[in-house]
Amino acid sequence: MIPTEFDYKRASSLDEAVSMLVASGGEGKFIAGGHSLVPLMKLRLSEPSLLIDIARIPDLAGIREKDGKIEVGAATTHHAVETSDLLRRLAPVVAEAAGEIGDPQVRHRGTLGGSLAHADPAADMTAVMVALDAEIHLKGPGGWRAVRAADFFQGIFTVDMAEDEIIAGVQFAPVQAAAYAKLHQKASHYPIVGVCAVLQASGGTVQSARVAVTGASTHAQRLPEVEAALAGKALNQATIDAAAAVAGSGLEDINSDIHASAAYRRAMVKVFTRRALERAAARA
């Protein structure tokens, strides 16, 4: 399968990438890992006339600690996230979830920023960023903007990002009591459903929780019914079971496809919410 013709440029800085995109007058597209875009271009579902390669921009690289927060550059590959010592130490859930994406070849090429920008209804890192309450940092011709992950994902392949903006990176607080649980689609390894749970607990009581789901509906989103069922309760199996039992009750537009019916996904949202909460609780 051969894509339609296009021109190719490699950007060497964030500003150059944005000005190349602006100059293309809506015809250009960024390419990072290419592991969502290239398949679409081969099917001619996407036909940009210019590709701007952002994979090697130094400003988009790296995982670092800054002012007590963790920053991950948009062009960081899933594999670099999975194997990062810093993340394994300060936010293990992020490294673990990245290690569940696709297969080794996909993780070597695909990037965090590409995954968030593409916003596949079944992307893994979208739910993780929502549950971590991460900030997504965007740069456009007008300057910088930060958007909370929960506001960034708006619908199927739809995010709060203008045509001429680029994701530079994400920022989130270190976290231990968190876990991601995923039902793999056996061939592609995309999640049929994936749930990320983050707990704030002290003295055996849940202070608050953030729980987000992906794969189930149009986009990654929080499960407020689960969070409400946890807040202020004793952190034990009964609380987890009760919270998991209501998981997904507020979800609309449940996906249904050849891999799983809507009814099956609804059932699995409960199961994987329970598993994510159990694993997060074991770390609280």
Ligand X SMILES: Cc1cc2nc3c(=O)[nH]c(=O)nc-3n(C[C@H](O)[C@H](O)[C@H](O)COP(=O)(O)OP(=O)(O)OC[C@H]3O[C@@H](n4cnc5c(N)ncnc54)[C@H](O)[C@@H]3O)c2cc1C
CB nearer to other proteins: give 189 or 266. Answer: 189
CB nearer to other proteins: give 106 or 267. Answer: 106
Using the rule CB under 6 A, is 188 a contact of ligand X? yes
Written as one string, the DSSP assignment of 47-108 is --SEEEE-TT-GGG--EEEETTEEEEETT-BHHHHHT-HHHHHH-HHHHHHHTTSS-HHHHH
CB nearer to ligand X: give 46 or 176. Answer: 46
Q: How is residue 254 written in tokens?
A: 């449940």
The answer to whether 61 and 75 have CB atoms below 8 angstroms apart is: yes
Using the rule CB under 6 A, is 129 a contact of ligand X? no
- Identify the residue among 22, 106, 173, 246 touching ligand X (CB under 6 A): 106
CB nearer to ligand X: give 155 or 232. Answer: 155
* The amino acid at 228: A
CA distance readout (Å), 7 to 26, 50, 94, 109: 14, 5, 35, 21
Residues 17-56 that bind ligand X (CB under 6 A): 29-37, 39, 54
The answer to whether 87 and 63 have CB atoms below 8 angstroms apart is: yes
Give me the least distance between CB of 191 and ligand X, in Å please.
Answer: 6
Q: What is the DSSP letter of 58?
A: G
- Identify the residue among 81, 91, 94, 101 touching ligand X (CB under 6 A): 101
Residue numbers of the site for other proteins (CB under 8 A)?
1-8, 10, 31, 34-35, 38-39, 41-42, 51, 53, 55, 79, 102-106, 108-109, 187-189
Give me the least distance between CB of 98 and other proteins, in Å please.
Answer: 14
Residue 187 interface partner, choices ligand X, other proteins, none, CB cut-off 5-8 Å depending on type: other proteins
CB atoms within 10 A of CB 154: 14
